[in-house]
Structure 1
């Protein structure tokens, strides 16, 4: 009957139990010697059985070593593939992170430039508004100045016309005075009128004045 590993384990367990019982049981020296011899005999058998089984165990282990080594090689190959994929993913992640960082930096720079451009446009708009206000004020002032100038010109023209009219009136009055003076001078130069004629003339003038008043 072939002895297996399980049988060896069972025998070793029995030996351990015997040794334990031997330590606990109180017996004579002869009995102890007998038990010791049995144990030694059993141990020799176990040793012989172990020596006999060692080649078989070694052969079985060697037989298992080939598929196990193949399995280990396959697992190692899979591990290498996984490590290669992981390294590729790590490189891709690093490059992607670098690109994202560059994109974020570019976006931040663009936002800063956009903000600066907005501030510049804001200042430009404020300056344009001020310029429009100044131009509008200047136009209003020019309109007011022009209206004032036109009013002044019109007033000067009216004054000039009034002055000319006054001069003309004065000339007319002066001419009338001169004419009246000449007429009076001519009247005084005429021959002397008699008192009777003078009275008639005065009455005639009085009648004419009365008709005019009526």
Structure 2
């Protein structure tokens, strides 16, 4: 059953390519394999299949398929002490989840809980804490403050003014955070990357408070 399942990766790429008038072979049968970087994210129980069986089946076909460059494996997202499982009905279905919050909110929450090293337990209390504290009070508050300030004082995106030493130091600090975000994403550390995004927003809120 599992041996032919990864063919779906190629199939879904072809479907996307056909819909967007692109060539799926540029991704899976590229002339230069270095032109494509294939990164896979999965739970720890799928490492064997993706690192051995799938590449072996591709090589065994005799075609010059693009093989995986990096695999980022994570722990499990647990419902109490049992991992989420579609086959057993454990956890929360996508339909039920979307009846509670939008897909963007769920992306933020799940990335915040992403089990990079150890299993992570999902709870509604933690869901509420992440949404209220990080997404709404921190990031959402910063975005709203900026938009309201610009609308009330300029009515458009203002021209850049002469920067003070304080401004320059602030921008340097933000640049350092942006570099950390980029580094974590490239290393598959999505949870840490999102933590830096929240830190970025926190620093911006502190700066706005100081300028008021």
- When normalised by structure 1's length, the TM-score is 0.15
**Structure with greater Cα Rg:** 1
Q: Quick one: higher RCO (CA 8 Å, sep 6+), 1 or 2?
A: 2
Which structure has the highest strand share of the two? 2
- When normalised by structure 2's length, the TM-score is 0.15
Which structure has the highest helix share of the two? 1
